[in-house]
Amino acid sequence: MPLLPDWLLPGRPDPLGATWDGLGINFAVFSAHATRVELCLFDPSGRKEMARLPLPECTDEVWHGYLPEARPGLIYGYRAHGPYHPEQGHRFNPNKLLLDPYARQLSGTLRWSDALFGHRHGPGRTDLSFDRRDSAAAMPKGVVVDDAFNWGDDRPPAVPWDRTVIYEAHLRGLTMRREDLVPRERGTFAALASPPMIEHLLKLGVTAVELLPVQAFLQDRFLVEKRLRNYWGYSPLSYFAPEPAYLASGGLDEIRVAIRRLHAAGIEVILDVVYNHTCEGDGLGPTLSWRGLDNASYYRLQPGEERRYIDETGCGNTVNLAHPRVLQMVMDSLRHWATAYRVDGFRFDLCSTLGREGNNGFDPGSGFFDAIRQDPVLSRLKLIAEPWDIGPGGYQLGHHPPGFSEWNDRFRDGVRRFWRGDAGLRPDLAARLSGSGDLFEKRRRRPWASVNFVAAHDGFTLEDLVSHAERHNEANGEENRDGHGENFSANWGVEGPTDDPDILELRGRLKRAMLLTLLAAHGTPMLLGGDEFGRTQRGNNNAYCQDNEVSWFDWALAATPAGQELAAFTARAAALRRQHPTLRSPVFRHGQTEPLPGMPDTAWFDADGAPMTPERWNDPEGRVLLLRRAGPARGEGAESEGVEVTLLLLNASGRDRVVTLPSPALAWISVLDSAEPEAPGHPVGGATLRLAARSARLLVALPPLEDHPG
């Protein structure tokens, strides 16, 4: 480390963070209630504190200073002085080294020690006590970086929402078991953008990869003590720095190279982000960053009882987005990832929490939503809300503002229950197939606002959905009490794996039926990574702490005949979605227009080919449903500007059904059948066809249709 001055110039209060200008580094950190903030500089190993320099100025509650001659690579942290009065919400303890909330890279890893707590930690101790031990040796530190990178001719794919197919995956688990990759790169950004992975995604028809949290996160102490690990990453330690374990090279440019390669392949990158809480937990948690810098500003506290945290996340604390500087931190973090790394969108964990201000409940016009919707950078990205939390009125599906899409658990549960054979599901399924207009058709929102999924990281995989009637989370160490209790799943005769060919055939048919339902529904389809080849978590529906082969993708399954068959079926369904606009309408359709005389854009029929009536819709035992759609044929590979007609046939009953095709008679081609996945497209002869039990089939009418008399 070069010899540096032992003093700081005043510097500037903006931008926040550590910023290199070519001649030195400006440091700026927010704290409204600190009485003094010190910059701590460390040797290149991060183990020895070389200097402790007071930030000389505080402007508008931002402490700042400038260190001449300093360069990128400098390792640093802060110490904040101020009152230690938990009853008043203040928890300053200068004995605790604090990570800069704006640190863009981390050096070292956190090593659990009682010294990390601002209070005396242990049996009988409370957060009212005060701990004087220095925590620096156990803390990761910030690294000053230079974000310059040659992006060349990189262009965001900018895939329209109605053409988007999302693939949700865990960055580490995705490639840890890929034997065709260099071992040291497995589980990293380098592996994500490797030719084998990109080839797989392209074959599948994926247009966007949605990654579970890649911002640096904490390995929670209670998991470490049980010899488990925080696998999912929903315990944020830094909002600007990536998780160091996800960088094979250790350098930030690995992320940029990966995103540039994915962009070149036409694939967008969406990040799952966690701005609703931090890893510091409640008042008995460690002091690592925000708590020690300004607890009363960064967190929502109980009015009149500021020692207590408002916990609407189930994680001990709630980030206080009603504070302008805290909101600024979140917005600056989002812009950092959008500009420094050129990510294409964000999925907001527990987004209902972000829409709360004070004690006023969820508000789609809250400061967070207003800020992001008017932002010239962020408003153009794909923004996805997880529309619930555990707070009062926390379930807000369909209530987020325009510009946001939302994870639609109503789609997940409805499709699962329909294919399980539950009674009375046809009306609900029809709404889900139509883009869930009952939830989203307001404020000029579009069908893409509904992110449709059958399985996600939180819950059963598709394979486990048809293999387990009960969760099997014993490995989590919570006596199988964690995770969803009701999964709307069935094992079809045997709990877990089986060699019974009849059960295996039925399970395969149901998996394919659910995938076709997903990819033929209006809205934005999201596939859970690995579902395309039968990935299993052995019945664990809450694998958040399973950083092992329970969660890692078993690519050997993809090479099996069953895995190849399922992947090929998924790819064909995605290709048909691209080719046929009636499967992915950008607007809600209600049968109000007639693309062909006498043929509305949307029509529903029963097994006998007759239109659905109120009596038929209300028949609880009806388990066959036909959906005919008509519209302009301007999809990929369309030969004309004419009209296309598609017919989706669904049979969730336990027996084969002879189905009458609705009039008028058209020259139908059967293009995909979940009961015969390898069958090529073939003409449908006659006015009826046999629809196998618990299967789905897609028909397409042959052109030309422009002159059809109706």
Active site residues: 349, 386
Concatenate the DSSP letters of all residues of 604-617 into one string: EE-TTSPBP-HHHH
CA distances from 255 to 274, 342, 383 (A): 19, 10, 20
Alpha-carbon span 1 to 14, nearest angstrom: 26
Give the contacts of 325 (CB within 8 A, at least 6 positions apart): 30, 32, 61, 297
Concatenate the DSSP letters of all residues of 419-461 into one string: HHT-TT-HHHHHHHHTT-HHHH-STT--GGGEEE-S--SSS--
Alpha-carbon span 517 to 454, nearest angstrom: 9
H-assigned helices in 265-408: 290-298, 324-340, 351-354, 367-374
Alpha-carbon span 671 to 682, nearest angstrom: 7
For 14, what's the count of Cα atoms within 13 Å in the CB-facing half-sphere? Answer: 5
Alpha-carbon span 163 to 523, nearest angstrom: 10
**Which DSSP symbol is given to 194?**
S
Local structure of 563: helix, strand or coil: helix
Closest CA to 491 of 465, 454, 473: 465
**Which DSSP symbol is given to 466?**
T
Local structure of 399: helix, strand or coil: coil
Is residue 130 within 8 A of residue 316, CB to CB? The reply is no
Backbone angles phi, psi at 368, to 5 degrees: -60, -50
Alpha-carbon span 191 to 198, nearest angstrom: 10
Alpha-carbon span 546 to 563, nearest angstrom: 23
